[in-house]
Amino acid sequence: MNTTKTPRCAVLGYGSWATAIVKTLTVNHHHVDWLVLNDDIRESLQMRSLNPKYLPWCYINQEYITASNDINAVVRDADIVFLAMPSAFLKKFLEPLTEDISSKIVVSAVKGIIPGDYLTIVEHMNRYYDIPMENLAVVTGPSHAEEVGQCQLSYLTVASEEVATAERVRDALANDFFRCSISNDVLGVEAAAIMKNIYALAVGMAVGLRYGDNFLAVLIAGCAAEMKRFIDEAVPFEGRDINAAAYMGDLLVTCYSPLSRNRRLGTLLGKGCSVKSALNEMTMIAEGYYAAECVRRSSMRRNIDMPIADKVWEVLYEGASARDSMQALIQVLR
C-alpha cells in the first residue's frame, strides 16, 4: 500500500454525498478515480466539470479526476476506496468487482443498512469481501452534502479499529473547511449514523403535523435518550461520549435541518401522504426507511424499549397513521 501523504483515492457512487467527497479530495489535490455509472453525468464531468443531477453547481477540477463506469479500473490503483452510494444499491455497485480490495483501506461514507441482510456496511465488507477490520473505516458526523460541496465548515469523525487507518483517511480529507477527528468506536458511530435517520423521520412527521418548536425539542431529546439506550446495549463501548459530534451532532443536524431527506420523507407522511407516494416523491434515497426495519428487529431481539423508533416503524411498515402515532408518543415523552 502506498504510504505517502498523497494517496490515490477511489470513490464509488455519484450522488450528492459522493460528489461532495470528490470535491473535498480534489480540493486537497488528491487524484480520484470515480465510479460514475450514469453516462450523462460522466459526460458532463468530462465536458463541464459538473455533476448535472447532484450538486449541479459544484465545480470539480478535472485535473484530479478520472471518471469511469468500470469498477475494477476505478479501484485497481487506489490506496483508499470510499463507498458513497445509497445502502440499497451497494450490492449492485459491487457486483462486477473482481479486483481484490482486501489490502486497501475501505471507507464507508454510507449512513445506512444493507436492506434484507440487516448488516452495517462495515460488517458487510468484512464478511463478504474479507477486508480486515483494521483496514475498514467509517466517516460520519453532522454533514449535509450541500454544505460540504460549498466548502462550508463541517466537523466529521473518522472511525476505525486501527488508529493508523483512521489517521490516513483523516489526512486525505481534512482541510480548513472539512475538520476531522478520529475514533475507534466503529460500530457505535455507524449505529448512530443509521439511527439518526429514523429519528429524523419522526421529527419530520411532527413538522408535517404542524407541531411547534417546543414539542420538537422534547421529541429530539427523547430521540437522543433512546439512541443512547440502544447503542449502549447493542454495541457496548467503554468511554463512549454520546454527546460528541459523531453521535449527538449528527442526530441534531438530521432532525433540525430542512436539507435532511429523512426529515423531508417524514414531513410528507405527516401531511397525510401514503408511504408509497411519499417515497415516490423523494428524489433521493431516505436511508431511515430501511433502517427502521433493522432497528426494530434488533431492539425486539434485545428487548430494548424503543417507543419512538417503534412508532416510525409502524407508520412505514404497518400502515399506522402519522397523526395517531404522534398522539401516542405525546403520552410517553417527558
> What residues are labeled active site?
196
Q: Residues 312-317: contacts with CB within 8 Å, 24+ apart?
A: 312/198, 312/199, 312/201, 312/202, 312/205, 312/266, 312/288, 315/205, 315/269, 315/275, 316/201, 316/275, 316/289, 316/292, 317/292, 317/293
- Whether residue 163 contacts residue 184, with contact meaning beta carbons closer than 8 Å, is answered with yes
Beta partners for 34?
A: 11, 67
The amino acid that residue 273 corresponds to is C
Distance of CA 231 to the CA centre of its chain: 17
**Quick one: CA dihedral 192, 87, 54, 157, positive or negative?**
positive
Beta bridge partners of 158: 139, 182
Query: Is the Cα dihedral 87, 89, 92, 93 positive or negative?
Result: negative
Q: Three-state DSSP class for 3?
A: coil
Residue 323 grid coordinates: 397523526
Closest alpha carbon to 256 in 200, 301, 296: 200
Asked if 326 contacts 222 with a C-beta cutoff of 8 angstroms, the reply is: no
Q: What residue type is assigned to position 190 of the chain?
A: E
Q: Which residue has the cell 486537497?
A: 28
Q: Which residues of 153-177 are buried (b: 16+ CB within 10 A; e: fewer)?
A: ebebbbbbbbeebbbbbbbbbbeee
What cell was used for 141?
458526523
Alpha-carbon span 52 to 58, nearest angstrom: 9
Phi, psi at residue 278, to the nearest 5°?
-65, -45
